[in-house]
Each structure stands twice: as C-alpha cells, then as structure tokens.
Amino acid sequence: MTRITEQIERLQARIKNAADRAGRDPRTIRIVAVSKKHPVSAVREAQAAGLTRFGENYAQEALPKIATIEPPAEWHFIGTIQSNKAATIAEHFDWVHTVANERVARRLSARRPVAAADLCTCIQVRPTGATERAGADPADVPKLAELIEQLPSVRLCGLMIVPLPGESDEVVRREFARTRALLDTLNRAGHLADTLSMGMSGDLEAAIMEGSTMLRIGTDIFGPRTYD
C-alpha cells in the first residue's frame, strides 16, 4: 500500500465520520483531489486508489497531466481565471469552480469546443466582507446564474466558496451555511444546480455539516507540495 493510498483511506474514514454525525450518506460527497504542484506519478497513485476527479489551479501546469493520465480523469479548474487562459481552460477541463463574473462566463462559453460536453461551472461566492477577495458578491449571484443558464456550451452546476484563512470554526460554518442557503434560493427560482463545492483539508467536517457535496482536498491526499 502506498503512502497516498493510506492517506486516501484515512480521508475517506474522516469523511464517513463527519457524514455520520451530520446524518448524511457519505456517498453523496465527492472528492476532488487537488494535484497542483504534485507530479503525474502522484496523480497516477491517487487514480489507482480509486479517485477519478482532480483539481488544478494553473492551466499550463495541468495540461501535461491531462494529456498523460490514462484512463482519462475528470479535471476541475479551481484557480483564478486569467483572461489569456480562458480558452485553454474551456478546451481542456470538465469543470470550472471559479466563475466570478459575467466576463469570465462569456469567455468560457465562447471558447468551449462545439463538440465537447457542456462545461460544468460553479459560481465562486465571495466571503462576507472580503471585498478584495475573488468571487461574486452574494447579491450578484442570481443575475450571474441567469446569464450562465442562457449561454451555450456551459452549464450551471453549483456554488463554490473559499472561507478566509484563520477564521474560527463558527465563522467558517456560517460562510458555508450562507452558501448553501444561496444555492437553495437559486433552485427555488428554477435552477437545477446541485453542487456545493465547499471544504478543504482543514475544514471538511464543517463543510459536510453544512451540506457540501464536493470537497477539494490536496494536503490530506498528496501531503506537502513537492515543488514550487
């Protein structure tokens, strides 16, 4: 058994324990293995251990992995979207978690290959009071959701949030709960989004308690980053 396999088993036990406490089925909680700054060999190990979804923050770093990994995996872009990288992201990824404004949504739609399946998108929600952080203001999310629904080649799949670092567990849970309530509001308005991309290695229990359906886990799978 490899080190990565052992860490995945520990992670799955941790998720199950949290899901049991929340009264949830752990099978409804998906893992995105955040492989940024880790080599292709680490992705292969995680894939051999049963993981199928991988997250990357940088398009250029991801491309060799996407081209090399067999059988093909599901690739999630979870970083800031630079204008000059939108075409690359739209062409090579299956999911984008960081749609924060109309400009990004339109670029991804325009650049998605016609023959490809619709690109699953999550609107990134800005943490409370963090005007300098990436993400859409909660008040702007309904309008952005409506736009995405109207654009070709992209599909609204859910919401994503990254709480501010160093916040208390209480504050983190409040941010997660607010994001869940926002998704409920969208669905009451007629959207069919079912993904809450919430929770990383340090706060996955709080995320599961508040309804997360997709965890973005790096360190607790791969360990410390192996290169800068």
Whether residue 38 is contained in a domain is answered as yes
Whether residue 86 is contained in a domain is answered as yes
Whether residue 71 is contained in a domain is answered as yes
Whether residue 196 is contained in a domain is answered as yes
Whether residue 2 is contained in a domain is answered as no
Block mean pLDDT (10 aa), the chain, length 228: 94 98 97 96 96 97 96 96 94 98 97 97 92 90 98 98 91 97 97 97 97 97 76
pTM of the model: 0.96
Whether residue 46 is contained in a domain is answered as yes
Cα 45 to Cα 145: distance, rounded to the nearest angstrom: 37
The set of long-range contacts for 101-104, using a CB threshold of 8 Å and a minimum separation of 24, is 101/136, 101/144, 102/144, 102/147
Whether residue 228 is contained in a domain is answered as no
Q: Which domain holds residue 139?
A: 25-218
Whether residue 69 is contained in a domain is answered as yes
Domains identified in the chain, total number: 1
Whole-number pLDDT of residue 227: 55
Q: Which domain CATH number covers 177?
A: 3.20.20.10
